[in-house]
Structure 1
């Protein structure tokens, strides 16, 4: 469904004002589909689900957010347009920073906060930033090398025999090609690299916070999240045997962590 300029996947269920809502926010060069198992499960077990494409990505129109703060404003506009007073926010990588900033800017609008594969600061190497412009396919290959710890996911993610590297590369190329006007690869990475407000934002968060981290994550290793964990008022930490692509490498673990946290 389209809410304003933002596309949101609902898990095949109509919105119900009597149910709680969870918003899923993807990372750089991803889209709503990276949450396929988690979003569908919650949609069929008592939750309104809005798994979004960020503005300027794939099925969403508008300008791609040039900063974490811009993206946070888009999330709040989404809640307003959908008539949602309060929602749980689940974000991965770049999306985790967006969810964090949103929970800091409008703590009364966020019931629970889940940060998957997060870090602060979320630095991006100058070489990778430059390659995202000059040689984006090469940069996509580099990101995939560091984002995965296994070649094939469990069957509950994308089906038996799925090749994670190939599937992820295809998704990233499709997302990049979805906006011929703006390089959403560079824009997203630059927003992550430039975000300076993580610790200050964490101190403003009033809701319970869950950190879901991959033990084999080379992009955002668990130790890189500790500055946020230490600032959180009400934090839980779940570590899974996965790389940065947690939703496909450890789909059941991520789902179980969400179920336990959101229904507590």
Structure 2
């Protein structure tokens, strides 16, 4: 997707923006997870843009081409995101976030109830505790943290095949290694510390969709049940899709399934 650079909050921000194929094309804002940047959405964003949607995938502060520092609090990330969509002049939008980005999207949706038309959460649960060994590695020994994330992120080799799993892990490692120093530790700390997810979910007014990987070891689908229940009971209601055999890296492992699900969901949003 075309990349746009803008000055925002006194810092440089990079956004992958498909552009609007039509004046009334729905806008879908795609928020990446911990230790990543907009490129995690490339395949999904291209499919959504090809279906006539406008997609925007920002690099959060301290990630990809956006100046740092990274934001150490989910609420701060949500506030930053909403100021960004204001700068991009998006009156209404659907938010889709993966892992940490799902918490950012959830917090932002509650703050913008009249503008957020839909909420898609991938690889999500609330709260989202992070294993202490991973938190410590992210702070003290990032290569070990990267290795642990790669070990836990993807579905099993008997589903993906050895060659594909190796390729996915290599691409994911390149993504993590190019992020600003210290950003992964701040990201994981933000996920671990945020305890407002279920309360926020109860206040969501737009329709919501949870997309879970059946074999996700980082946010296991059974642990997403409280989040789904809170969203389902909220004003907008919720639906759930579980992708067979998939792990946590849903956009890498099953991009066609994810993009089809988001496209169908946006088509039914108010």
Q: Give TM-score scaled by structure 1 length.
A: 0.90
Tell me what 1:239 maps to: 242
Find the residue that maps to 1:107 and give its secondary structure. Answer: coil
Change (3 A) 1:243 1:161: closer
Cα contact 1:23–1:87 (8 A) shared by 2 = yes
Tell me what 1:164 maps to: 168
Tell me what 1:185 maps to: 184
CA-CA distance at 1:17 after TM superposition: 4.2
Tell me what 1:47 maps to: 53
> How many Å separate the matches in 1 of 2:140 and 2:62?
21
CA-CA distance at 1:107 after TM superposition: 1.1
Tell me what 2:16 maps to: 9
Aligned residues: 254
Task: Verify: 1:173 aligned to 2:210, yes or no.
Answer: no
Tell me what 1:218 maps to: 217
CA RMSD of aligned residues (A): 2.0
Cα contact 1:104–1:201 (8 A) shared by 2 = yes
> How many Å separate the matches in 2 of 1:30 and 1:62?
14
Unpaired runs of at least 5, structure 1: 155-159
Matches within 5 A, 1:1-264: 1-3=4-6, 4=8, 5-11=12-18, 13=19, 17-150=23-156, 163-175=167-179, 179-180=180-181, 183-232=182-231, 233=234, 234-241=237-244, 242-264=246-268
| Deviation string, structure 1 residues 88-139 (Cα, Å, up to 9, x no partner) | 0000000000000001112112100000000111101222111112111011
> How many Å separate the matches in 2 of 1:15 and 1:185?
35
Q: Give TM-score scaled by structure 2 length.
A: 0.89
> How many Å separate the matches in 2 of 1:254 and 1:153?
17
Cα contact 1:153–1:249 (8 A) shared by 2 = no
Unpaired runs of at least 5, structure 2: none
Moved over 3 A (4+): 13-17, 150-154
